Chains A and B, each alone.
Chain A
Amino acid sequence: MKLSLGPILYYWEREATFSFYDEIAAAPVDIVYLGETVCSRRHTLRTEDWFDVADKLAAAGKEVVLSSQALIESESDLKTLRRIADNGKFKVEANDMGAVHLLAAAKIPFVAGPHINTYNPQTLELLAELGAQRWVMPVEMSREALSHMQAARPAGMETEVFAYGRLPLAFSARCFTARHYNLPKDDCQFRCMDYPNGLTLNTREGQPFLALNGIQTMSASIYNLIGELDSMRATGVDVVRVSPQAFHTAKILKLFRDTLDGQLTAQAAARQMTKLMFDQACDGYWHGKPGIEQSYLAATDSE
């Protein structure tokens, strides 16, 4: 199985983003997804800057994919989308049917991202006909549902699973980070930059529940399928995705890599990973349960 790094879902400083990708260039990861997928107001890196980062990572031997924004509302969003779709060099991850429309019309092969609702083999077959070469399973899909998809998978289609990181659960027109500061979205003062791993939302009894990331709402817990790599392999998964976090991403990639290569047991990797995680783990979705639930690492802890 190959290892991928998803797009940065948060808003980081320009220099921090560049140094992050300098580190990633040397990290044991096969595929890197790049670009702003959450909010068009974020601009520390412009589209050209992303193309530059893409060139550097490609030169370092990575397969680079440019990810498109999930929520496309305005004409200027569409303009950015067209630039990405027409980049002429790198594969594109489509995260909205508008992107699928442009890529299919131009006959450009693409990755159907996690925000395309691919829930059944018929839709996957359609995406294949339109030019998709890889699809990323919706985060709420279980292993069992995936196995039915895999049984009917079109020839040549690769399957990717979001396997580590706070789960991107929802998108809105409203910016919840700006709302927290009583700021309108149009004058958000980019407060999301103060929360490089998202702003945790707790219940009224202090349970970390969700994380606010601008217009995106995420899980507070970190989805972690390090213990499920064998079952992914058995289900025919081709690519395992790690989602960037502000610290230790390269170390997390290394632990996934070593586990995939059989250098480390999943239990050992999971134990080492708990020190690198800034919140508790969850893995419910994979097991067909509420996403917030956690079985694997809890079992490991009690050993």
Chain B
Amino acid sequence: MSPKASLELVCPAGNLPALKIAVDNGADCVYMGFKDNTNARAFAGLNFDPASAREGVRYAHAKGAKVLLALNTFPQSDKWERWQAAVDNAVELGIDAIILADPGLMRYAARTYPNLRLHLSVQGSATNYEAINFYHEHFGIQRAVIPRVLSLAQVEQVVKNTPVEIELFGFGGLCVMVEGRCALSSYATGESPNTCGVCSPAKAVRWQQTPEGLESRLNGVLLDRYGKDENAGYPTLCKGRFEVNNETYYAIEEPTSLNTLEMLPEMINMGIAAIKIEGRQRSPAYVEQVTRVWRAAIDAAKRAPQSYSVNPAWMAQLNKVAEGQQNTLGAYHRPWK
């Protein structure tokens, strides 16, 4: 096994201001997407055109940070050229690594640009080392982002059995489903992360005040209904309240954020290569806050892992920007399952 890299902080850049703020506040890497459905945050007003991508790469490199490009949707059967061109453009821009999910696209990238660094996206759904080693043997991937479904013990088992660097999600919106294996959004709206780079797309959302409360609908399907004193969050399909056996509750997942600050020493200890912060769709203010806290925490954990403890001020700052103002250790912590 090759020695693992030391823990990197990977921060979201939905646009140029967010990218600069992440770099200025201590991100080792930023990740971004182009302005189309080649990435899993294909939202209006988000992402990079060629000029802003060029400026982003220049800015990050000048300050010693790396730029990763998410090309992590699945090329649709008749539009392959768009994804292939995105790989070509990434190389031309001097991107440090591309984050891919589609095996066919990975083969194109590996064959055409043997020196290009490839990361396996979380959307590639690799939850075991046999899957990760497949991508390593066939395409030489150097890093894999693990879906947010494994316990920390299972992650450790993966790390021990692959030469590929492992990147884990540390903070942000929580997919309760295995990424790359969820078609709930297209079932309701026709558009999914795999096919269109969106989940519960805004254009399908309708808010309506009714005598029973404020209703959120996704393409007509009632996702939730809020009382006067309840906070209404973005209506992501799996975070609605539904009825099962006449009981109404968050049948799939509460609106919470993943927050693994307390697990940092363990993650460093088991040789995790990078921590990813979710949220390219979030504001530069979010990116600033989260990057600053995580930089401080990672530095503290690296400096003195034995005496590391979570600073309450960090938690307070993160809770302010967390979805649903709540957080969870997710699947890393077995009882969550």
Write the residues of chain A forming the contact surface with B, with a CB cutoff of 8 angstroms: 70-75, 77-78, 81, 96-102, 104, 115, 117, 119-127, 138-140, 145-146, 148-149, 167, 169-176, 179-180, 184-186, 199-207, 209-210, 212, 217, 219, 284-285, 288-292
A-B contact count (CB 8 A): 212
Most buried by B among A102, A124, A205: A205
A113 to B127, alpha carbons, bound, how many Å?
Answer: 17
> Are B222 and A119 in touch, CB under 8 angstroms?
no
**B131 partner residues in chain A, CB cutoff 8 A:** 72, 96-98, 101
A71 to B252, alpha carbons, bound, how many Å?
Answer: 18
> Are B251 and A140 in touch, CB under 8 angstroms?
no
Write the residues of chain B forming the contact surface with A, with a CB cutoff of 8 angstroms: 74-78, 80, 101-105, 107-108, 124-131, 133-135, 137, 148-151, 154, 157, 176-178, 180-184, 186-190, 192, 194-195, 219, 221-225, 238, 240-245, 247-248, 251-253, 331, 334-337
> Are A172 and B177 in touch, CB under 8 angstroms?
yes
A99 to B126, alpha carbons, bound, how many Å?
Answer: 11
**B187 partner residues in chain A, CB cutoff 8 A:** 140, 167, 169, 210, 219, 285, 290-292
**B108 partner residues in chain A, CB cutoff 8 A:** 122
The residue of chain B having its C-beta at the shortest distance from the C-beta of A289 within the complex is B190
**A100 partner residues in chain B, CB cutoff 8 A:** 134
A56 to B247, alpha carbons, bound, how many Å?
Answer: 43
Interchain CB contact (< 8 A) of B251 among A115, A127, A179, A291: A179
Q: How far is the CB of B88 from chain A (nearest CB, A)?
A: 15
Most buried by B among A96, A120, A179: A120
> Are B242 and A203 in touch, CB under 8 angstroms?
yes
Q: How far is the CB of A213 from chain B (nearest CB, A)?
A: 12
Most buried by A among B127, B222, B248: B127
Q: How far is the CB of B333 from chain A (nearest CB, A)?
A: 11
> Are B337 and A98 in touch, CB under 8 angstroms?
no
> Are B176 and A123 in touch, CB under 8 angstroms?
no
Q: How far is the CB of A292 from chain B (nearest CB, A)?
A: 6
Given contact pairs A167-B187, A172-B176, A210-B242, enumerate 7 new A-B contacts (beta carbons under 8 Å): A119-B74, A169-B187, A173-B151, A173-B176, A184-B337, A200-B244, A205-B222
> Are A123 and B102 in touch, CB under 8 angstroms?
yes
Ordered by A's residue number, 24 sampled pairs between the chains whose C-beta atoms are within 8 Å are A71-B149, A97-B124, A97-B131, A119-B74, A119-B77, A120-B77, A124-B104, A140-B195, A167-B187, A172-B252, A173-B176, A173-B337, A174-B336, A180-B247, A185-B337, A201-B243, A201-B244, A203-B223, A204-B243, A207-B222, A212-B244, A217-B252, A219-B187, A290-B187
The residue of chain A having its C-beta at the shortest distance from the C-beta of B105 within the complex is A122
**B126 partner residues in chain A, CB cutoff 8 A:** 97-98
The residue of chain B having its C-beta at the shortest distance from the C-beta of A284 within the complex is B190
A204 to B247, alpha carbons, bound, how many Å?
Answer: 10
A100 to B223, alpha carbons, bound, how many Å?
Answer: 37
**B105 partner residues in chain A, CB cutoff 8 A:** 122-123
> Are A123 and B103 in touch, CB under 8 angstroms?
yes
**A284 partner residues in chain B, CB cutoff 8 A:** 190
Ordered nearest first, which 8 A-B pairs have the shortest CB separation? A122-B104, A98-B130, A173-B149, A123-B104, A101-B134, A148-B77, A119-B74, A291-B187
Interchain CB contact (< 8 A) of B221 among A176, A180, A186, A209: A209
> Are A98 and B134 in touch, CB under 8 angstroms?
yes
> Are B252 and A117 in touch, CB under 8 angstroms?
no
A167 to B77, alpha carbons, bound, how many Å?
Answer: 22
**A210 partner residues in chain B, CB cutoff 8 A:** 184, 187, 242
**B221 partner residues in chain A, CB cutoff 8 A:** 203, 207, 209, 292
Q: How far is the CB of B189 from chain A (nearest CB, A)?
A: 5
> Are B224 and A204 in touch, CB under 8 angstroms?
yes
> Are B75 and A120 in touch, CB under 8 angstroms?
yes
Q: How far is the CB of B133 from chain A (nearest CB, A)?
A: 6
> Are A170 and B183 in touch, CB under 8 angstroms?
yes
Contact of A78 with B189 at beta-carbon distance under 8 Å, contacts A120-B80, A172-B178, A174-B336 already known: no
**A101 partner residues in chain B, CB cutoff 8 A:** 130-131, 133-134, 137
**A71 partner residues in chain B, CB cutoff 8 A:** 127, 149, 178, 181
Contact of A186 with B334 at beta-carbon distance under 8 Å, contacts A96-B131, A120-B104, A199-B244 already known: yes
Most buried by B among A77, A101, A170, A185: A170
**A149 partner residues in chain B, CB cutoff 8 A:** 77
Interchain CB contact (< 8 A) of A199 among B222, B224, B245: B245
The residue of chain B having its C-beta at the shortest distance from the C-beta of A178 within the complex is B337
> Are A126 and B104 in touch, CB under 8 angstroms?
yes
Q: How far is the CB of A220 from chain B (nearest CB, A)?
A: 10
Q: How far is the CB of A302 from chain B (nearest CB, A)?
A: 20
A217 to B175, alpha carbons, bound, how many Å?
Answer: 14
> Are B194 and A117 in touch, CB under 8 angstroms?
yes
A140 to B185, alpha carbons, bound, how many Å?
Answer: 10
> Are B77 and A145 in touch, CB under 8 angstroms?
yes
> Are A140 and B194 in touch, CB under 8 angstroms?
yes
A140 to B182, alpha carbons, bound, how many Å?
Answer: 10
A170 to B154, alpha carbons, bound, how many Å?
Answer: 21
